[in-house]
Amino acid sequence: MTNPEKKKASIAASGSGMERFNAVKPTTNILYSLLFIFLALLCVIPVIFVIIISFSSEQSISQVGYSFRPVEWSTNAYEYVWTLRNASGMPIVIRSFINSIGITIFGTCLGLVLISTMGYALSRKNFKLRGLYTTLIFIPMIFSGGLLSTYVINTQILGLRNTYFALILPLACSSFYVIIMRTFFTTTVPDEIIESSKMDGASQFRIFVQLVLPISLPALATIALFLTFNYWNDWFQASMYIETSQRELYPLQYVLVNIEKNIQYLTNNESYMSADSSMVLPSETMRMAIVVIAVVPIMFSYPFFQKYFISGLTIGAVKG
């Protein structure tokens, strides 16, 4: 028996090579589990610590500093943020929170439509202008158009100043995301499915909606997650395109960033303050409360997208 035959016989006797490769010893499994638990705690404990500090009193922080066991619990930081009111009497944080939710949802949906359709068109080999448009899309990844030109186009040409579209359109499409979707469509979507659908009389729109998109759910969920984070965490667009006279349009992050930069923002805007807000400003705990208000809502979006990661992997399976 030759050496290759001996190796094959040995593998057959002790299980397939892949099974042996995937086999993990109990000790190694325990070590990996402990490692991942430790890494998970490194991510979770700081969040819990920030939440505890945000519910601590200023006196507790002055006595024992930042601690997991504060001397005194207090909600003064959240109460003080709640005292910010707009002209109609609604808390400005609630108004900006609603703005951010609407901007994030609408912007993410619009971005997915633009990115997926453009990526699909560039992935088709029979598209004559495929090379030209790919080059035009790739150029902004290397050379930016500049902040001044962007501002002039959005304000003078498109007239987006002091509108919600000024907070949505500049972030709706990214060259990087388009290239990702183009590559995904090219490498993952089988040409045989599209050609057979064409022979059955299906239009390009129907092929894209009913065949391509279900196969592409993992990539779409990833892009949607990135877009959601970008819209939710963005405050720069508001600082550029929204004037102070249009405070009703402020997103949550812009309001919170202003408070974080200068805690006196609360007392300087007396028109937003209620009459009974005469307590001492809880500056330390308020910084942590701002972090909680900004981070906790977006944390709940990941399980939603995780659901589509799993379903996309199963729905997108192609049987031979």
* Domain harbouring 224, CATH code: 1.10.3720.10
Whether residue 180 sits in one domain with residue 106: yes
Write out the two tokens for 11: 């593998």
Give the distance from CA 141 to its chain's centroid.
20
CA 187, 190, 195, 198 torsion-angle sign:
negative
Tell me if 279 is assigned to some domain: yes
The boundaries of the domain holding residue 156 are 86-315
pLDDT tens digit string along 54-63?
888 877 877 7
Whether residue 127 sits in one domain with residue 254: yes
Average pLDDT of the residues in 140-145: 79
- Provide, rounded to the nearest whole percent, the portion of the chain with pLDDT above 70: 79
Number of Cα atoms under 13 Å in the Cβ half of residue 225: 17
pLDDT of 205 over the 90 cut = no
Quote the pLDDT of residue 308. 64
Q: Determine whether 83 is exposed, middle or buried from the number of CB atoms within 10 Å of its CB (0-12, 13-18, 19+).
A: middle
CA distance 203 to 298: 38
Give the distance from CA 183 to its chain's centroid.
21
CA distance 240 to 236: 6
Give the distance from CA 80 to its chain's centroid.
28
Phi, psi (deg, nearest 5) at residue 129: -95, 20
Quote the pLDDT of residue 246. 83
- Provide, rounded to the nearest whole percent, the portion of the chain with pLDDT above 90: 16
pLDDT of 247 over the 70 cut = yes
Write out the two tokens for 192: 């045989």
Confidence of residue 70 (pLDDT cuts 50, 70, 90): confident
88/211: higher pLDDT: 211
Whether residue 218 sits in one domain with residue 119: yes
Whether residue 128 sits in one domain with residue 27: no
Write out the two tokens for 211: 């065949």
172/5: higher pLDDT: 172
What CA dihedral angle connects 132, 187, 197 and 205, to 10 degrees?
Answer: -50
Whether residue 33 sits in one domain with residue 128: no
Whether residue 170 sits in one domain with residue 228: yes
- Residue corresponding to tokens 């239009």: 203
Whether residue 205 sits in one domain with residue 297: yes
189/305: higher pLDDT: 189
Whether residue 29 sits in one domain with residue 169: no
Whether residue 28 sits in one domain with residue 161: no
Tell me if 169 is assigned to some domain: yes
Which CA distances in Å does 241 have to 100, 145, 201, 307?
Answer: 15, 17, 47, 36
Tell me if 11 is assigned to some domain: no
Whether residue 300 sits in one domain with residue 188: yes
pLDDT tens digit string along 86-138?
666 777 888 888 899 999 999 999 999 999 999 999 988 888 888 888 888 88
pLDDT of 309 over the 60 cut = no
Tell me if 73 is assigned to some domain: no
The pTM of the full predicted model, rounded to 2 decimals, is 0.76
3-state SS, residue 56 = strand
